Amino acid sequence: MLSRKKDTDYLALSARIHAMEGRLLSRDRMDRMIDAREESEALKVITECGYGGAEGLRTQDVERVLAAARAETLRELSAAAPDPRVVDVFRLKYDYHNAKVLVKAEAMGIDAGRLLLDGGRVPASELAEGYQKEQLGGLSPRFQSAIREARETLAASHDPQLSDLALDRACYEEMAQLAQETGSAFLQGYVRLAVDVANLRAAVRVARIGKGSEFLSQVLLPGGSVSQRTLVAARGEELNALFQSGALAQAAELGAKAARPAGGSLTAFERECDNALTRYLGDARRVPFGVETVIAYLYAKEAELTAIRTILAGRRAGLDGAVIRERLRGWMEMYRIAVIGDPDSVLGFKALGLEVCPAEDVEQARQAIHRMAKENYAILYLTEQLAAQLQPEIARYQDALTPAIILIPGKEGSLGIGMANVTNAVERAVGADIL
């Protein structure tokens, strides 16, 4: 059993992750993909983000390359993390997805190979072989029992939905257990919110199609902030009140309307559910080191993959650039990043695909910070030389959701301010200056 790790155990990995963030799909790179005249130009941008090789990609290779990159990211961070359980929380969904595929493929007599996904704790090919040979001893006890339950449920009921529910329930239970073992309040909060999202969606859909409380009780998951019993007892229009004080307040309001037959838009409701998770995970970006840094990068990488697929699919469908941007609007707002400083210090960041804002003096920098905060920039890199004269502005946004202001050395070198901020954070965490 792994012991619980301190945030300071993540200092080295956090520094490595911050360097990796420079290769993520920036706003500039995304615009270049959308506006590229030829598909090859759009695919070239992907190589700049670390996908494929210098020779470039072919259209038919993109999905394979993206899937491989996702799996490699998960494996790499799992191996590097002081506590691999932090990453396993996000790997579990691929294990359970593959189990669903294998169970249903067996019942239908078809080959599951092309539907399996890598990225889980167990390689997809290894899980498939173990399943076929009924040799699952290397899996967690909960995963093993869930697979057996899913097989038996499908054989008895011939209902794949019930079979999937058995695996979903086990997946969230394992996620909650792993999150608890890490000791991370942030990670536990994420799992709890994910359960709430799944349950809210289930409650709205069940109410909309007119099924009763007995069916709803079968599909709800344990471990959310609102109990299963409370949700079963509530009517569709009462969902708003159950979640009104939490992260799902907006989603529940839309859900209460959508719960009525022919009621509000399910699409808007579903989007707001996703936005709630996005906002929660986005908060992790503000933490300079610790479990949150790993989580934030995993979230950013997954969002990047979705954005790439959306852009390429939109281009192939012949959609106008404005339409594609509208579909990516939430992502674009969440990941607007800029660098503020004197021209000599910041222009080099443009080569990394980051937006740069040259500031000749403190006043220009002050105006840039306020403007970008209003425009919902997610992260602002600010040179230490300017930061030394902008402490009130930095303090103003310290506790705000956006922007996260991160200090970097200017052309004159480091003033030690950024390191001092890290030192203060460490001291608050462990009670002493250990750096």
The span from the CA of 111 to the CA of 109, in Å, is 7
Q: What is the pTM of this model?
A: 0.75
Cα separation, 300 vs 336, whole angstroms: 12
pLDDT (0 to 100) of residue 135:
86
- The string of DSSP letters for 46-84 reads HHHTT-S-TT---GGGHHHHHHHHHHHHHHHHHHHSSST
Tens digits of per-residue pLDDT, 366-411? 898 888 887 667 678 888 888 888 888 888 876 665 677 878 787 7
Q: Which domains does the chain have, with CATH numbers?
A: 7-57+287-330 (no CATH), 85-284 (no CATH), 336-430 (3.40.50.10580)
Segment 121-143, tens digit of pLDDT: 999 999 999 998 888 888 899 99
| Bridge partners, 409 (sequence order) | none
| The pair of three-digit structure tokens given for residue 407, joined into one six-digit string | 């200090």
pLDDT beyond 60 at 145? yes
Using a pLDDT cut of 90, give the percent of the chain over it: 24
pLDDT in the model for residue 331: 61
pLDDT of residue 429: 37
d(CA 203, CA 234): 9
Token pair for residue 240? 């708003």
Name every residue whose Cβ is closer than 8 Å to that of residue 94 and which is 6 or more positions away in sequence: 74, 117, 118, 119, 120, 124
Least confident stretch, 69-83, 215-229, 289-303, 369-383: 369-383
Q: Copy the structure tokens of residue 45.
A: 């941008």
State how far the alpha carbon of 376 is from the alpha carbons of 30, 304, 333, 397, 411, in Å.
17, 18, 6, 12, 27
pLDDT: which is higher, 45 or 431:
45
33-90 pLDDT, tens digit per residue, is 899 888 888 888 888 887 865 456 677 778 888 888 899 999 999 999 999 999 999 9
Residues sharing a CB contact under 8 Å with residue 333, sequence separation 6 or more, in sequence order: 376, 378
Tell whether the model's pLDDT for residue 209 goes beyond 90. Answer: no
Structure confidence at residue 321 as a pLDDT band (50, 70, 90): confident
What is the predicted pLDDT for the residue at 2? 66
Helix H or strand E segment including 306: helix 291-316
d(CA 435, CA 428): 13
The mean pLDDT value of the chain amounts to 82
pLDDT at 152 > cutoff 90? yes
